[in-house]
Structure 1
Amino acid sequence: MNIKPSTALRNEYPQISQLAKASGEPIFITNKGESDMVVMSMQAYEEREKMFRHRDMVYQAELSRLSGAPAYTSDQVDAKMEDIFRAYES
């Protein structure tokens, strides 16, 4: 875990930026000894957001399944996809 004072963000921005990119981890910024904010690289942020979107899709699918929506086996899905591809090729 990386913790830096707010003065480091102001005075050492290039080093903080490089640390965020190299570590891929959030950097916790403090102000007067108290937690204040978190800084992370854009790549780490985008990966985190992608993971959250994926998790949301899994939760939605599970809620749908639990509410009685039809479920399909992988064989049923494969067969349906084959039908779609064959129809498209014709």
Structure 2
Amino acid sequence: MPKIIPIKDLKNTSQISEMCHVAEEPIYITKNGYGDMVIMSVEMYEITMKRLNMYRQLELSENQIDTGKTRDARESLDNLKKKYAI
């Protein structure tokens, strides 16, 4: 279940930092009862960014397959072997 705290609780920075490092998901900050910000640890942010990049790369690959922008793997390897005399 997501952790949701009011913005006034951000005054206790050491407690918020501890929450960010213990939580395995972002912490949602509300202002006047409405969503305002999301905070997370640097480690969680880096994991999230790596995952997002992976999804982008997969989407690019799927688009290349759908548009026929692919090559036969054996043919490509043979071309590389000839090019570099392997």
Interval of TM-score (by shorter of Structure 1 and Structure 2): 0.7 to 0.9
Aligned ranges for residues 1-90 of structure 1 at < 5 Å? 1-9=2-10, 11-72=11-72, 76=74, 80=77, 83=81, 87=86
Distance 1:16 1:69, change over 3 A: same
Distance 1:86 1:21, change over 3 A: farther
Question: 1:13-72, CA deviations, whole angstroms, 9 ceiling, x for partnerless residues?
Answer: 111111111112101001111111101111111110100100000000110010011244
The whole-number CA distance in structure 2 between the counterparts of 1:85 and 1:3 is 58
Partner SS for 2:25 = coil
Question: What percentage of residue pairs aligned between the two structures are identical?
Answer: 27
TM-score, structure 1 as length reference: 0.77
Structure 1: where are the runs of 5+ without partners? none
The one-letter amino acid paired with 1:47 is: I
Flag as ranges the 4+ runs of structure 1 deviating above 4 A. Answer: 83-86
Distance 1:26 1:62, change over 3 A: same
Say what the alpha-carbon RMSD is for the aligned residues: 2.5
Structure 2: where are the runs of 5+ without partners? none
The whole-number CA distance in structure 2 between the counterparts of 1:27 and 1:17 is 11
The whole-number CA distance in structure 2 between the counterparts of 1:54 and 1:65 is 17
The one-letter amino acid paired with 2:7 is: S
